[in-house]
Chains A and B, each alone.
Chain A
Amino acid sequence: MIPAPFEYVRPSSVAEAVSAIGAAGEDGKILAGGQSLIPVLRLRLAYPTTLVDLGRVAEMQGVRDDGDAIVIGAMTTHHDVMHDPLVAEHAPLIAQATGTIADPQVRHRGTFGGALSHADPAGDLGAVALALGCEFVASGPGGERRIAASEFFHDYLTTALAPDEVLTQVRVPKLGAGWSSHYEKFNRVAQAWSIVGVAALVRRDNGSIAEARIGLTNMGSTPVRAAAVESALAGADVGSVAAAAEHAADGTNPPSDLSGQADYRQHLARVLTKRAVLAAVGS
């Protein structure tokens, strides 16, 4: 199918983008890589009157070092994130999870910021951003603000971004020594979206686990932290990972759909959390 007609604007800076989305009003929409938005337009599930294409905003592309954090431009493609040396050094969890998204063609166009702004609960990057404690930088008519990952995801396809705000970059804190990570995901072969995914970050100290951070994909209408597993793992030895992972579904309210019922997802969360933590600690 063909999308309904719309006006097309192509700003070349963040300032121009903010004024264009403001001028477009309620029915304006930001176009990043288009890998979620264009399918929605094609199926006529949305009728924006104006699309503001961020594709030529050079200042929103690429990854840079900013001391205690790396900064990923919202318009950096999945493909470029996967192959970026700063991401590989400071946030290999992001590179690994990004490599599981969709397929090469979609990763050539889809963007880091677009995937996070879209906030599909089956999307892989939200749980990763939550576990890493990322900060989201948004620009709007009132200027710039930073939003903690824990405050960013509000509901299914809904974030803290106001309609006239642009997510410009994501700050990823550098983790320092002792941390290791793993992203474990379960999906159908012909459809890369996670049925459930688990992002695990673990800091080891003298052979035991000093600290763990676990983010869950598709275990509710937003990505969530598995807080009960995190506290069970703090100070634990590797032998108690399986018992800690039994808490992975505590307090979750996962969806039931064609890929699985809620209780099946809760089972998957426990199994995948065990696998993710063990892989992160290298056992």
Chain B
Amino acid sequence: MTKINVKVDGVSYADEVEPRTLLVHYLREQLGKVGTVVGCDTSNCGACTVDLDGRSVKSCTVLAVQADGGEVTTIEGLAGPDGELDPVQQAFHENHALQCGFCTPGMIMAVRDLLRENPNPSEDEIREGIEGNLCRCTGYQNIVRAAQAAAGVKS
């Protein structure tokens, strides 16, 4: 076992983990943060996307020990203290940017990362920004609209 210190959604944790523990499994099983989901076995789907030290990563493709000393934000850490949604969450809600909802936590984290890097993206830039995230329901049209709405761009 290896000792790690991580801050997740604003709370500091000191835990023992096996080195082989994936960050996503640490989040879900050890911390109970089941908002972050696993959608594939090949690092392709992006459903497990979280922020690690301010950058989006696929938490199924990071070891928990690699996050030692770092700061993680999951979908569960976005809403404000009174439950008010993050602007990207709100935009997904208003634009009906989900069908089954399985890809949604990762999509929202990917769109937040995109808007951090490029606050005013074109439609093509949005599509490229979320190229690491697959929607099995293929509802990309409304996801792109939500990203445009969150960026304050009229669709």
Residues of chain A whose beta carbon lies under 8 Å from any beta carbon of chain B:
1-8, 10, 31, 34-35, 38-39, 41-43, 51, 53, 55, 79, 102-106, 108-109, 189-192
Query: Interface majority SS on A: helix, strand, loop or mixed?
Result: mixed
Is A109 within 8 A of B61, CB to CB? Answer: yes
Q: How far is the CB of A254 from chain B (nearest CB, A)?
A: 23
Contact A105 to B60, CB < 8 A, known contacts A8-B65, A55-B66: no
**Chain A residues, Cβ within 8 Å of B56:** 104-105, 108
| Category for how many chain B residues contact A | 20 to 34
CB distance from A39 to the nearest CB of B (A): 5
Query: Quick one: closest A residue to B56, CB to CB?
Result: A105
A38→B132 contact, CB < 8 A: no
Taking CB atoms, residues of chain A closer than 8 Å to B134 are 190
Taking chain B's interface residues, is the majority helix, strand, or loop, or is none over half, making it mixed? mixed
Q: List 26 A-B contacts (CB under 8 A).
A: A1-B41, A2-B20, A2-B22, A3-B20, A5-B19, A5-B20, A8-B19, A8-B65, A35-B43, A38-B22, A38-B61, A42-B22, A43-B41, A51-B19, A55-B66, A103-B132, A104-B117, A104-B129, A104-B131, A104-B132, A105-B113, A105-B132, A106-B132, A108-B56, A108-B57, A109-B62
B108 to chain A, nearest CB (A): 13
Interfacial residues, chain B to chain A (CB-CB below 8 A) = 2, 18-22, 25, 41-44, 46, 49, 52, 55-58, 60-63, 65-66, 110, 113-114, 117, 129, 131-134
Which residues of A sit under 8 angstroms from B49, Cβ to Cβ?
Answer: 105
* Nearest residue, chain B, Cβ from A2: B20
Instruction: Establish whether residues A4 and B20, one from each chain, have CB atoms under 8 Å apart when the complex forms.
Output: yes
Distance to closest chain A CB from B76 (angstroms): 18
CB distance from A106 to the nearest CB of B (A): 6
A79 x B55 contact (CB < 8 A):
yes
